[in-house]
Structure formats: C-alpha cells, structure tokens
Amino acid sequence: MKYYTFVLVLLQVLVSCNDVDEEYADFEISFEQPINFPTPTYDFEDNPITTDGFVLGRKLFYDNRLSLDNGINCSECHNQSHAFTHHGHDLSEGVHPGVFGTRNSQPIQNMAFMNDFTWDGAKDKLWDQPLIPITEEVEMNETMENVVAKLQEDSEYQQLFSTVFKLEDAINSVNLLKALSQFMGVMVSSNSRYDKYVRGEEGGVFTDLEKEGLALFQQKCATCHSGELFTNQEFINNGIGENTSLPDETGRARISSSNPFATVEELKASDDYYKFRVPSLRNVKNTYPYMHDGRLVLLSKVLDFYDDDTYPLMTKMNNLDSRLIQTNEDGTETLGISMTEDEKVAILAFLETLTDDEFINDERFANPN
C-alpha cells in the first residue's frame, strides 16, 4: 500500500514536472555571470533563481491580469525588440488610452547588477520595483489584492507557485513580485560585439572607426557611463533642463527629501533637483527615445546635446555636474563636452557595437503564449 502511494506520488510529480517542462521550459535556467561584468547585487539567498521561478516570472510578465480590466501586461512598455523599452513612446501610455506617465520606459536588462531602480531610484530592491507599475494609475492601475485574487482562480498558477515556493497556497503578492524578479534577474545582456571584442571572442572584430569611437567614449563619456554596465549608477544632473510640460518632475530630489509633502518649489532648492540615474548605454540604438522623458529621438541629437558647440542645448542649474563645465582662459564657462563632427561619428559607430542581438532575440525572454 505504502509502495503504491509512493509510486502514485512519484508519478504525479513526474507528470506535473512534465507539464511545466513541456509547456514552458525546454531549457535549464541559471544565473550566468559574464566574466567582464561586476559582482551582481541580486539577492540570491533571499530569492534564488530556479528554472520554474523564471518560467513563472515570465508568465506573469506577459499576463494582462496584472492590470485593471486585464488590459495590458509589462511587455506593453517593455518590449523585447527594443531591449524591453516602450517603442514609439517618449512617455509611457498605461492601461488607460491617452493617459501618459511622466517618464520614458527604461530597458530591462542587467537588473541583477543595479543598486537602485527607476530614473530617480525610487526603489532599491529589484523584487519591490514592480509594485509601482502594477498599482500606478498611469501604468497598470490595479491593486495587488485583485491581482492575487485573479491568479488564485487559475489552477495552472496554483501549481506553478506551489512548485516554485514549495508550499501550498503560495500565491501572494510577495511571491508574485519575487517570481517577476527571478525572470528579470536572468535578463543579462552581455553578448554585444563590444563584449566579444573585449573578451577576445569570435566575432569580436572592431573597425578602425569603432576603435576610435571607443577611445573617444572612454575619454569623454565614461566617467559617468562607466564600466561594463556603462553607468556608474550615480544620480547626476547632466544639464537636460526642465521639461515645462511636466511641472511636477523633480528627479532624485523627491526621493531623497526627508519631507514627503515637500512642494516642487521646495524641492528646487535640493541638491538632487533634476538628477537622474545615469542610464546604461547597452542596446542604446534600440532604446530610443532618450533621456528620462524621452525628449531626444535620435542618438545623433544626444551627441549634439552634449557637444559644447551646440550649447545652449544644455541648461545650467547649480548642481550641473562639473564634468560638463569647462572654464575658459578668460574666466567664462562653456557647457558640454568638446567634440568635432568626425569624433561624434566615431562615437556613434562605437555605441552601435553595444547592440546585443542575442539578447533581443533570446526566445527564453519572449512571450511564451
């Protein structure tokens, strides 16, 4: 009798594993650390990455039930072909057509290496971040309570959550967020031509122009867009200037203020006013439009923005980063970075080598449905 029960349980386990395997995962997932990358910040102890957890996270990422009236899912604003940004939108449109947020959607890539999340660092834990899009009115406008209730009605989710979190009734908001985080944690972009070039791998060939662009980039841009993530992860005012159509935008100042009720006028006095997290430039060719509000559509325009010749595109606030201010012999100041037109062409050519087609076409990250 005992033997039969054992065989039955074993069979059930095999069958249920097979279900998952057949439908979603014909692969094994583990976190792969690229040799040229820094130590991850992802908390592997608190939320270990497993194949089933990844599969569950991916299912959630592409599930409209995470939004009001089951209207949209995460990929609406984080589209794989654009390195998981919102194609064609400067500001992101959420579940209500015509209602826009105040920021440009960020790429979801290399999240396992970041210290803070979103443009202003509103969250410092990856698993905690999706709370914002799920509940924000301008994004998915749903409550965690409703999402959990919707998922609890689904037997497939019941099974997947139990498998991943090894307990019955495992569908709750924390586990939902943790599964999303396992999925996003694995989304590492590290196989661009640039990576192959620095790692000396096959296909890692640079033209002379791209080599020149890399050298110029290191000289002129890499103090902020530094290291293999192409960001020093600091909050910096790069002279982008206020967007008059978004009067409530204050950048990092809102987050670092000790007063949650501070007015915009008060936050203007903060040293963090209009500071944003230095964005990674990986896959930058595909993540247009650019800057926190998506105000620049072309990469060439971003270079014009930085070019000291095209000043006054740059706005001088008190906290403009000193690396973007040159003091001339006569004591006057020039804002921006000195670049010739030829140098801009070389930098652009280099930036395009950061495109990682393997990542953008990786079927493991695509919608499984």
* Binding-site ranges for ligand HEC (CB under 6 A): 61, 66, 72, 74, 76-78, 92, 94, 101, 103, 105-106, 108, 111, 114, 117-120, 129-130, 133-134, 139-140, 180, 184, 220-221, 223-225, 236, 238, 240, 276, 278-279, 281, 284, 287, 290-292, 302-303, 306, 321, 323-324, 337, 347
Min dist CB 149 to ligand HEC, Å, is 16
Q: Give the span between the Cα atoms of 176 and 150, in whole angstroms.
A: 12
Q: Give the span between the Cα atoms of 73 and 66, in whole angstroms.
A: 6
Q: Give the span between the Cα atoms of 283 and 64, in whole angstroms.
A: 26
Nearest residue (CB) to ligand HEC, 53 versus 279: 279
Nearest residue (CB) to ligand HEC, 313 versus 347: 347
Q: Give the span between the Cα atoms of 195 and 211, in whole angstroms.
A: 13
Closest to 83 in 3D by CA, of 227, 193, 184, 232 = 184
Q: Give the span between the Cα atoms of 273 and 275, in whole angstroms.
A: 6
CA atoms within 13 A on the CB side of 10: 6
Min dist CB 44 to ligand HEC, Å, is 17
Nearest residue (CB) to ligand HEC, 53 versus 94: 94
Min dist CB 356 to ligand HEC, Å, is 15
Nearest residue (CB) to ligand HEC, 281 versus 360: 281
Min dist CB 143 to ligand HEC, Å, is 13
Min dist CB 58 to ligand HEC, Å, is 11
Degrees, nearest 5: CA angle 354-301-120: 70
Nearest residue (CB) to ligand HEC, 53 versus 101: 101
Nearest residue (CB) to ligand HEC, 16 versus 41: 41
Residues 6+ apart with CB under 8 A from 221: 306, 337, 347
Min dist CB 221 to ligand HEC, Å, is 3
Check if the beta carbon of residue 314 is closer than 8 Å to that of residue 239.
yes
**Which two structure tokens, joined as six digits, stand for 50?**
């497993």
Q: Give the span between the Cα atoms of 156 and 172, in whole angstroms.
A: 15
Q: Give the span between the Cα atoms of 172 and 155, in whole angstroms.
A: 14
Min dist CB 128 to ligand HEC, Å, is 10
Nearest residue (CB) to ligand HEC, 8 versus 136: 136
